[in-house]
Amino acid sequence: MDEATQVPGGLERQECLSLLAGTGYGRVVFTARALPVVAPVNYLLDEDVVIGTGADARLQRLADGDVVLFEAEGADSGTAWSVSVTGYAHPVIDAGEADRLISRTGSETPWVPGPAESLLRITTTQVDGRTFPIAGAGPGRAPLPYPGATPDA
């Protein structure tokens, strides 16, 4: 039994990658000064996850081979999905490769506004994901209470 089938709503690797190919916004999680950092990013899927760093110096300081986590999610028709990719960061330093990747974004403007756009490739070493129903969503249904909220008297 593989890991995906051990989690309710677990997704196989190829299903996860297909979901990632359909959106362009996510988050990168890494450490800075031994503390976790979460940075929102634009991305595209090119066998691996490729992100634009914009002027975010924290992302630009990631060293070749640093371990990072990338996460994205989405929803439709009452079902949500979440996919995590754990891998190694590798700056895209070849100008031809960078031009090819940027041309795939369909935009001449940087993904993340800023004067120092650079690209970072995150290997898809470990890919995990799951789907789950969106409870409380839809017309005529009350939203779920915030966790820990006390009911009104």
| pLDDT at position 57 over 60 | yes
| pLDDT at position 91 over 70 | yes
Q: Structure pTM? A: 0.78
Summarize pLDDT for 97-122 with one digit per residue, the tens.
888 888 777 655 455 544 556 889 99
Cα–Cα distance between 108 and 103 in angstroms, integer?
Answer: 8
- Nearest Cα neighbor of 49 from 28, 80, 75, 74 is 28
Instruction: Say which DSSP state 140 is in.
Output: T
* More confidently predicted of 102 and 29: 29
Which residues are CB-contacts of 130 (< 8 A; sequence separation ≥ 6)?
7, 8, 9, 10, 11, 81, 82
Enumerate domains of the chain plus CATH numbers: 3-132 (2.30.110.10)
pLDDT band at residue 135, thresholds of 50, 70 and 90? confident
